[in-house]
Structure 1
Amino acid sequence: MYFAMNRFRIAIGREAAFEAIWKGRDTSLAEMPGFIAFHLLRGESVPEEGYTPFISKSTWESKDAFIAWTKSENFRAAHRSAGDNKAMYLGPPKFEGYSVVEGA
């Protein structure tokens, strides 16, 4: 199993807009071989730094299945307008990928 996550720092006050973008995006993850699940996670705001952390987390059968998604037309379509709302982001997202070592 493989977990692919992007960490976002979203400007305080822009959280609802960020969530709306994710909820309204055209994605076809469920059609992708090896896709298991997706979650958008919201952390506690960090007022002294002016942001609220978010993580987009997708779960895949394997790293190869995730990589195939990133090379697909579905991926390009899902990310086509990613740069349209730069004002809400405090820097670019940070990608992290993890393979399961042990789990129940």
Structure 2
Amino acid sequence: MSYFAMNRFKVRHGHEDTFETMWRTRESKLNDMPGFVEFRLLKGPDGDGFRLYTSHVHWASRADFEGWTKSQAFRDSHKNAGNSTTRDALMGPPQFEGFETVLQQG
């Protein structure tokens, strides 16, 4: 069954545009990866001093996701993850969540 890899980001108020631009302009290699289905960046509710965002990546299987995490493309896409722009925008590191599909309709 399919697998969803998600990261939650707490983006400080005032940094939302910078955060969204970073995602829009990044070089993504996901389309080249076996098992990649879809990527979405979602903007959620306001919190205490932050806006919640989450990235959702849909994979054909957990094995495909794990292959991505061990690839050079993964390392290349995350090489600037800790730069000063990111550190200023985020209230701590992203929170990873991974889910395997147990039921699908539609």
Normalised to the residue count of structure 2, the TM-score between the two structures is: 0.94
Match of 1:75 in 2: 74
Aligned-residue CA RMSD (Å): 0.6
Question: 1:22-33 counterparts in 2 under 5 A?
Answer: 22-33=23-34
The 2-side partners of 1:4 and 1:92 are apart by: 16
8 Å Cα contact 1:8/1:94 also seen in 2:
yes
Once the 2 structures are TM-superposed, how far is the Cα of residue 43 of structure 1 from its aligned partner? 0.5
The 1-side partners of 2:69 and 2:101 are apart by: 20
Once the 2 structures are TM-superposed, how far is the Cα of residue 101 of structure 1 from its aligned partner? 0.7
Can you give the 5+ residue segments of structure 2 that lack an aligned partner in the other structure?
A: none
The 2-side partners of 1:87 and 1:11 are apart by: 8
Q: Which has the higher helix share?
A: 1
Code of the residue aligned with 1:32 in structure 2: it is M
Code of the residue aligned with 2:73 in structure 1: it is N
8 Å Cα contact 1:2/1:63 also seen in 2:
yes
The 2-side partners of 1:90 and 1:28 are apart by: 27
Normalised to the residue count of structure 1, the TM-score between the two structures is: 0.96
The 1-side partners of 2:15 and 2:45 are apart by: 14
Question: 1:51-90 counterparts in 2 under 5 A?
Answer: 51-84=50-83, 85-90=86-91
Question: 1:1-104 counterparts in 2 under 5 A?
Answer: 1-46=2-47, 49-84=48-83, 85-104=86-105
Once the 2 structures are TM-superposed, how far is the Cα of residue 88 of structure 1 from its aligned partner? 0.7
Can you give the 5+ residue segments of structure 1 that lack an aligned partner in the other structure?
A: none
Once the 2 structures are TM-superposed, how far is the Cα of residue 45 of structure 1 from its aligned partner? 1.4
Runs of 4+ in 1 over 6 A off after TM superposition: none
SS in 2 for 1:82: coil
